């Protein structure tokens, strides 16, 4: 499920600004690469991906928090694993992204275990369901709609963002030279809010169209969308404001779990909510 769906909905409903081009890529890894290479002026990323960009020396600005995963990311185990601690000493499949490592680290920390307690096997996203079906691991870090597919096959959710708001946030990032007060960026905020309003009152015809675009049944699409909190642009920008912005707690937790050394503002992206929200 695409967590940046409001942008797609705005385009499908004729509310996308004609001056901007919406680029859909197959994965966040592709989006990160395109942004680094200068092929994108703005991109939706998870907050941990933005932090990794900063750690690698890639200059950029976070201009809004777009969404908060509320069950859309999870660590699952086989039916005979009742808790995360039961994965100790076992193999866990993890998508080769910062989000996968973040989720696994958070789940193990919650269980009082170090990351070394499990054998994390990094694979591409397409390999997660294949490896799971082949019995290659006792646990898997997954996201909707894969979570629902694995549950249908008997997997059990052991840890998820439903009980950990703020752990997996999606943010809007822009290249150096752009700000939230730039007309193009303001147009993105307007498109996001228009698409969000449509999704807030999602009707069957639109759900069918959007689900087909993602290759899933409409019921699965609705289930996946119920596990992400879409944030209005004004609220998402306010989360970046002030000397101790609300998003700071999420940043500090990600730094601890992913091991930003040394931590601190020098290795963080700029946070800019703009002059008017």
Contact 128, 100 (CB under 8 A): no
Domain match, 175 and 156 both:
no
Structural domain containing residue 122: 73-163
Residue 216 lies in a domain: no
Domain match, 237 and 120 both:
no
Residue 276 lies in a domain: no
Domain match, 13 and 122 both:
no
| Cα separation, 244 vs 10, whole angstroms | 33
Domain match, 49 and 178 both:
yes
Weakest mean pLDDT among 23-32, 45-54, 176-185, 249-258: 23-32
Band of pLDDT at residue 2, cut at 50, 70 and 90:
low
DSSP 137: -
- Last residue within a domain, chosen from 107, 131, 163: 163
Domain match, 85 and 52 both:
no
SS3 assignment, position 44: strand
Domain match, 13 and 80 both:
no
Domain match, 80 and 137 both:
yes
pLDDT digits 0-9 by tens, 201-231: 877 787 888 888 777 788 888 888 889 999 9
Domain match, 107 and 150 both:
yes
Domain match, 127 and 183 both:
no
Weakest mean pLDDT among 25-34, 184-193, 226-235: 25-34
- Last residue within a domain, chosen from 145, 163, 181: 163
Residue 20 lies in a domain: yes
Domain count, the chain: 2
pLDDT of residue 180: 96
Band of pLDDT at residue 42, cut at 50, 70 and 90:
very high
- Last residue within a domain, chosen from 163, 193, 221: 163
Domain match, 175 and 81 both:
no
Residue 82 lies in a domain: yes
Domain match, 177 and 253 both:
yes
Q: What pTM was computed for the model?
A: 0.90
pLDDT digits 0-9 by tens, 107-142: 999 999 999 999 999 998 888 999 999 999 999 999
Contacts of 152 (CB under 8 A, 6+ apart): none
Contact 189, 112 (CB under 8 A): no
Domain match, 113 and 147 both:
yes
């Amino acid at each position: 499920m695409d967590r940046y769906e409001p942008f797609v909905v705005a385009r499908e409903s004729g509310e996308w600004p004609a001056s901007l081009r919406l680029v859909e890529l197959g994965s966040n890894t592709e989006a990160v690469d395109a942004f680094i290479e200068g092929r994108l002026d703005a991109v939706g990323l998870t907050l941990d991906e933005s932090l990794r960009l900063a750690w690698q020396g890639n200059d950029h600005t976070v201009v809004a928090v777009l969404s908060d995963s509320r069950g859309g990311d999870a660590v699952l185990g086989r039916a005979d694993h009742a808790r995360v601690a039961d994965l100790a000493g076992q193999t866990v499949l993890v998508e080769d992204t910062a989000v996968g490592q973040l989720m696994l680290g958070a789940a193990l920390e919650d269980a009082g275990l170090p990351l070394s307690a499990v054998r994390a096997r990094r694979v591409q996203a397409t390999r997660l369901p294949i490896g799971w079906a082949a019995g290659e691991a006792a646990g898997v870090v997954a996201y909707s709609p894969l979570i629902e597919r694995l549950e249908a096959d008997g997997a059990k959710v052991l840890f998820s963002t439903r009980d950990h708001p703020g752990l997996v946030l999606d943010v809007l990032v822009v290249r150096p030279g752009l700000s939230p007060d730039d007309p193009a960026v303001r147009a993105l905020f307007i498109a996001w809010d228009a698409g969000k309003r449509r999704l807030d009152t999602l009707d069957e015809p639109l759900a069918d169209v959007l689900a087909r675009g993602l290759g899933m049944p409409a019921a699965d699409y609705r289930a996946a969308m119920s596990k992400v909190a879409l944030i209005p642009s004004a609220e998402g920008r306010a989360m970046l404001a002030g000397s101790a912005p609300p998003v700071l707690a999420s940043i500090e937790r990600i730094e601890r779990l992913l091991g930003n050394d040394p931590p601190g503002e020098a290795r963080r992206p700029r946070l800019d909510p703009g002059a008017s929200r």
